[in-house]
């Protein structure tokens, strides 16, 4: 059963000219009600900046197009609207990544963050702000509910060498509060 939902995909990177028709065919096969380039002429005219397509697809997905992007090392950000049955999604991929990453999204396509992932980090930072390095032994022994293994590892690093705590914790905070990539312009390589 198909259910067509709104989606957006922004693509950047270098596409070899010999794959333009294959790329446009993937767009034609998967997307409907397309706002964005659908011909070689339009694609070439848009080259030099990231290119965005707004469309409707089956459940907002465009797996063939995203697979083609990964094969040709084209970065993308894909958002899908929510409906009564499905949350909105925000996913992205860049050539240096093994797998696509993402999260649920608001109806406007912004990534969401789970409060239960962030609250333990905030509580940890408040304790650290109050007590400084003296808080580290307390933090590891008090077993703050919801701390990830990565955050526990950051605390253990801080116990061994206090100056390593904040950089290790910053890394964990950035994992809990992801941001999508800034895509390179879409270019066609002749």
Q: How far apart are CA 58 and CA 83, in angstroms?
A: 12
Q: How far apart are CA 53 and CA 62, in angstroms?
A: 11
Q: How far apart are CA 45 and CA 107, in angstroms?
A: 30
Nearest to 71 by CA among 23, 103, 27, 39: 23
Say what the pLDDT of residue 80 is: 93
Q: Looking up tokens 């390589």, which residue turns up?
A: 189
Query: What percentage of the chain exceeds 90 in pLDDT?
Result: 53
User: Per-residue pLDDT tens for 61-105?
Assistant: 999 999 999 999 999 999 998 877 778 899 999 999 999 998 888
Beta carbons within 10 angstroms of residue 53's beta carbon: 20
Q: Looking up tokens 């293994």, which residue turns up?
A: 149
Nearest to 50 by CA among 21, 79, 9: 9
Q: How far apart are CA 76 and CA 186, in angstroms?
A: 10
More confident residue, 11 or 114: 11
57 DSSP β-pair partners: 5
Q: What's the number of CA atoms in the CB half-sphere (13 Å) around residue 111?
A: 17
Q: How far apart are CA 91 and CA 80, in angstroms?
A: 9
Domain locations in the chain? 4-112, 115-176
58 DSSP β-pair partners: 4
Q: Name the band, by pLDDT with cuts 50, 70 and 90, for residue 1.
A: low
Which of 3.40.50.150, 3.40.920.10, 3.30.70.1270, 3.90.550.10 would CATH assign to domain 4-112?
A: 3.30.70.1270
User: Per-residue pLDDT tens for 123-160?
Assistant: 888 888 998 888 888 777 666 666 778 888 888 888 89
pTM for the structure as a whole = 0.79
């Amino acid at each position: 059963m198909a259910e067509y939902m709104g989606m957006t995909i922004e693509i950047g990177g270098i596409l070899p000219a010999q794959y333009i028709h294959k790329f446009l065919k993937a767009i034609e096969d998967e997307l409907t009600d397309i706002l964005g380039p659908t011909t070689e002429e339009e694609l070439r005219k848009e080259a030099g900046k990231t290119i965005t397509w707004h469309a409707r697809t089956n459940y907002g997905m465009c797996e063939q197009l995203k697979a083609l992007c990964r094969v040709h090392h084209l970065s993308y950000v894909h958002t899908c609207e929510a409906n009564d049955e499905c949350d909105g999604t925000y996913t992205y991929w860049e050539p240096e990544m093994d797998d696509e990453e993402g999260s649920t999204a608001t109806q406007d396509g912004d990534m969401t963050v789970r409060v239960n992932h962030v609250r333990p980090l905030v509580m940890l930072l408040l304790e650290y702000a109050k007590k400084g390095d003296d808080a580290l032994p307390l933090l590891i022994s008090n077993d703050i509910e919801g701390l990830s293994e990565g955050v526990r590892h950051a605390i253990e690093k801080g116990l061994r060498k206090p100056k390593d705590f904040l950089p290790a914790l910053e890394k964990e905070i950035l994992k809990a509060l992801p941001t999508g990539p800034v895509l390179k312009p879409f270019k066609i390589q002749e």
